[in-house]
Amino acid sequence: MNWAALAVITVIVILMILYEWPRLRQHTVKEKSVFVIMTTAGWILALLLVLFPELPGPTQLVDAIYKPLGKLFE
């Protein structure tokens, strides 16, 4: 099941890149690099969530960072 989900996610990302890349030809290198970085980051996060479903979410990371600061300001 995991391998099928990984394959489907990868195919969707490839299709998304194939659809969007021709539209980015008139844009700058910075915009293209941001598109590649954001797409890669989303792909990696999706793969990690399929492989490790108990992985904590980003809100738990924010809580872990700012909880000590909140106690400091009290």
The pLDDT tens digits of the residues spanning 41-71 come to 999 989 988 998 888 877 888 888 888 888 8
Which residues of the chain form beta strands (DSSP E)? none
Closest CA to 13 of 42, 37, 45, 50: 42
Which residues fall within 8 angstroms of residue 5, CB to CB, at 6 or more apart? 50
Determine if the pTM surpasses 0.85.
no
- Where on the phi/psi map is residue 56: left (φ > 0), alpha (ψ -120 to 50), or beta? beta
The Cα 14–Cα 21 span in angstroms is: 10
Model pLDDT, residue 2: 83
